[in-house]
Structure 1
Amino acid sequence: MSLKLHTIIASTRPGRVGPSVGKWFNEYAGEHGKFEPVLVDLADFNLPLFDEPEHPMRQNYKNSHTKAWAESVKSADAFVFVTPEYNYGPPPSLLNALNYLSLEWNYAPAGFVSYGGISGGLRAVQVEKQIVTTLKMMPIPEGVPMPMVFQNLDENGNLNPIDIYKTSAATMLDELYKWAEVLKPLRAQRKSPATKAAA
């Protein structure tokens, strides 16, 4: 069975560039051929500010939006976060989505496609890498930064990928696949505290 890669569009605001970037990367991942690619848009889940009464590690979710998000995340073997940079940091929508869950993220590798102005979103990625490690994810060094991304959008807002985007994406996908394969046994052992106690 092929490994499932979720490309997560992190920005949820109107007028965002994320869907164009995410769509291109998801299609490129399909052409790359090592993963089953799935495009995930955070905006579709409409997550409010974290509103679960219990700690996510308990997985005793009360809200339908949390249950839907948990089902999506736990079905993936690897993640690529398509992220802008807000004030030198991650978009709040992504931080909120990460905080909603705990065990579902464990032992999955994570890559980053970042975009923005001159920094290409790299300052946001540095913060995001620190955060995902607390969720027992493996953020890989390889990434796809897109400085001055607006210069590479056509009149309809679609991304015209330059060669460095493609070569960077291929390198990142190769590395993601290695980590997704080697971490597969650990992902198979993920259990909630209640399940462990009953075992």
Structure 2
Amino acid sequence: MSSLILLGVDTEQVNAIFEKLENNGKANQVLKQALNETAKQARERLSEQAKKVYAIKKTAFRKDMKIKKATVSKPQASIVSTGRANSLSDFRVSPATVRNGNNRPKITKGKVLKSSRMKRLEKGGIKAFLVKFKSGHKAAVERSSKASYPIQALYSPSDPVMLGSEKRTYGIVEPYIERDLHENLHHFIEQALGG
């Protein structure tokens, strides 16, 4: 799964400003610089917002987003995030350690959003629990039936889904990204005009 965020600008909106730059052949260079700087800022903003919203232990959102830079001939920068669904155990789960026998809790709880309450991980009377596999990987799992096996891991949203969320992440930072783009355009135009 992947999500894509494009950063572009309608050159017609900035034509008046760019007339001076085009005489010097610098308009597309300025656009490229502004878009690439904005893409870096957008990646940082998206990463920070996701960390605020989701109760995930890892903080590699920034590393999971790759920037495809704008060029002079193609004034469009993009941020691409790829990845599969995260294991529910990557989020807040209680108890956080694997417990067996008499130490096993009556119920395991978990949450994906920091603002949510911990929810019982139980479906149809079948309770989820934490397990550690021979590989060393720890996961929240549930049984398919009352029988001991098979078990299946519980998953939660992927990084692209979390980062692209209109309600919680991208939709929150989009106005700041637009503001950053305008500020970066202004900065690089002044720089190109020697101001």
- Determine which structure has the larger strand proportion and give its number: 2
Larger radius of gyration: 2
Higher relative contact order (Cα pairs below 8 Å, separated by 6+ residues):
2
Normalising by the smaller structure, the TM-score range is under 0.3
What is the TM-score normalised by the length of structure 1?
0.25
- Determine which structure has the larger helix proportion and give its number: 1
